[in-house]
Chain A
Amino acid sequence: MIKSPNLMSLAEQAKLFREGKLTAVNNVKSHLEIINNLNPQLNSFITVDSKGALEQAKNLDKSRNNGDKLGPLSGAILGVKDSIPTKDITTTNNSRLLKNWNPKRDASVISRLKKAGAIIIGKTNLNEFGWSRPSELDLNPPPWSPWNSNHMSVGSSSGSGAATSARMVSASIGTDGGGSARLPAGANNLYGMKPTHGLVSRLGMDHNGHSEISPLSRTALDLALLLESMSGFEIEDDMSWPEAVPNYVKNINKDISGWKIGVPRNFIDSAPNEPEIINAFEIFLNKLEDLGCKLQEIDLRGMAEARAANFIVLNSESYQRHQKSLRLHWKDYGQITRVYLLQGAFIYANDMLNASEVGRAFKNYFSKLLRDKEIKAIVTPTSPFATAERSRRPDEHSKGVNACYTAPFNISGHPSISLPAGFGEAEIPIGMMLTGEIHDDSSLLQIAHAYDKKTEWSKIMPKLVSNNFDN
């Protein structure tokens, strides 16, 4: 007897589908059942496209039965953050302003995922426009954590993280402008990756330069499968990387013993880390050593300045995109979001250019640090905080402290991955982060995969979810 497909990884589901042991229609139905059971409580989805998903699944089953060539994600069920345009599925950005917006075409990343055989089952919840903070005043109320439903799900790809750990989807797609995919991955016992800038094109989305489209999954292998399918050059996107996509999946089993990992103790010790974060960090370091990695303390500079630069760029770009709509449709915006968006009205061109210059300097500095020390990656916690509520305390939130480890690598463009690493007192998962050299996304995936094989995190699911399954 085959266990419920929801309990398998994306790679396992796709393998069973290719072997004819699982139909795409049954996989969709199984995931719809869990969505129907859990979404009313968790608010992970804004839109569930049952009809469209079943239609995609029927076509896939037909293709397989015809002996057609199948893509690497065939039969997998994906949730997509509702800020990424999807043809024929409403894309609200969780805003009243766009509550009826039906994009005329898919963002290029969605076209690539569909071509690889993925089934888009719906659109996942987020802070309005992926900005500001969770609010009951948004079009849809915020998602709750499946690990402890007294706590909010960490955002802004909050619905993507919750839906993936709750087995409502095989994996999900989020966006990460300052940690918005890595932070929810960490808080949901998932692998989440912000790829190198330009690897995954944002064509078809707004021009938000340092916000990368990012996969979240339950295993490192799933992350590699997704990234390989999402990546590729788009000639209409001036930020797109014009090189062939590396074989992330084929090369994932590389021996990582002897690889040097940098540990920036000086910086980590200065952050307001909660005790359970530090405990998990030390255990994570031991695990890296068990895998054969060599730890080396490094003096890491400029993280605060790079975070400030990313904050200025994010604010400027968000305001630029919304300036006209804010004037025309003020009342359609959430009361919190519209205030957040206006921050960019008080940033001058000179400030924006200073931010770009600081970002460029930090990018070159960090790459040189990795090269000079022959380091494959640096390791930090993903967040200093163990719950969404703690990270949103006004004094720390206004300074962006919750993104102190993540945001610097948005402005720099370096690839960065969050790995599951335990649980805090509230039973909310904790993530640890590895950040490596530009366009060496492969090494991060290889470390993550070696770690995944030697740990049990990817087998652990929320109690709320396991109650829905017999096995």
Chain B
Amino acid sequence: MEKNFKNKDRSEKLRKMVPISEDEINDLNKLLEGVDNAIELMSTLVQPFDQEIDVSKMSSTVDGENHD
């Protein structure tokens, strides 16, 4: 539901920007799943003001999982 809303919102923005086709919008939405995943992976790392990112507690795998 949230994803559909996000894609609709993005599609409207795109149509205002450039003469993009519906097929291209669909292709872009698939690519943007990779962008969303990257943003989500990073946003979990952001720390409160008085703390720093601790990379030694980050993921150990190519998929961003932690197998400790």
Contact = CB atoms under 8 A, between A and B. Distances in A.
Contacts of B41: 304-305, 308
Contacts of A401: 62
A339 B58 CA distance: 32
A12 interface: no
Nearest to A309: B42
B4 interface: no
Contact of B67 (A266, A343, A351): A266
Interface of B: 10, 13-14, 17-20, 24, 27-28, 30-35, 37-39, 41-43, 45-46, 52-53, 55-65, 67
A346 B32 contact: yes
Given A311-B34, A351-B39, A398-B30, A305 B64 contact: yes
**Max chain B CB contacts within 10 Å: which of A266, A331, A361?**
A361
Contacts of B24: 335, 338-339
A51 interface: no
B62 A343 contact: no
Given A339-B27, A342-B14, A351 B42 contact: yes
**Max chain A CB contacts within 10 Å: which of B19, B38, B58, B63?**
B38
B53 A358 contact: yes
A347 B19 contact: no
A372 to B, nearest CB: 11
28 contacts: A266-B60, A270-B60, A270-B61, A270-B67, A300-B60, A301-B56, A303-B59, A303-B62, A305-B59, A305-B64, A311-B38, A312-B39, A315-B35, A327-B18, A330-B20, A335-B24, A339-B31, A340-B31, A342-B20, A343-B32, A345-B17, A347-B39, A351-B42, A357-B46, A361-B53, A362-B55, A364-B55, A365-B56
Interface in A263-299: 266-267, 270-272, 299
Nearest to B66: A301
Given A347-B35, A358-B45, 20 more contacts: A267-B60, A267-B61, A270-B60, A270-B61, A270-B62, A299-B60, A302-B59, A304-B58, A304-B63, A308-B64, A312-B35, A326-B18, A338-B24, A345-B13, A345-B17, A351-B43, A354-B39, A361-B53, A399-B34, A399-B37
A400 B58 contact: no
Contacts of A365: 55-56
Contacts of A185: none
Contact of B57 (A266, A301, A362, A404): A301
A219 B35 CA distance: 37
**Max chain B CB contacts within 10 Å: which of A299, A300, A354?**
A354
B40 to A, nearest CB: 9
Interface in A401-441: 401, 404
A294 to B, nearest CB: 23
B17 to A, nearest CB: 6
Nearest to B55: A365
Nearest to B46: A354
Given A301-B59, A330-B19, A398-B30, A308 B37 contact: yes
Report the interface size class on chain A. 35 or more
Contacts of A311: 34-35, 38
B28 to A, nearest CB: 5
B42 A354 contact: yes
A180 to B, nearest CB: 17
Contacts of A400: 34
Given A343-B28, A345-B13, A361-B53, A301 B37 contact: no
A272 B62 contact: yes
Interface string A371-399: 00000000000000000000000100011
A365 B10 CA distance: 36
Contacts of B56: 301, 365
A113 to B, nearest CB: 35
A339 B28 CA distance: 6
A305 B57 contact: no
Contacts of B42: 305, 308-309, 312, 351, 354-355, 358
A343 B20 CA distance: 13
A332 B20 CA distance: 13
Nearest to A323: B17
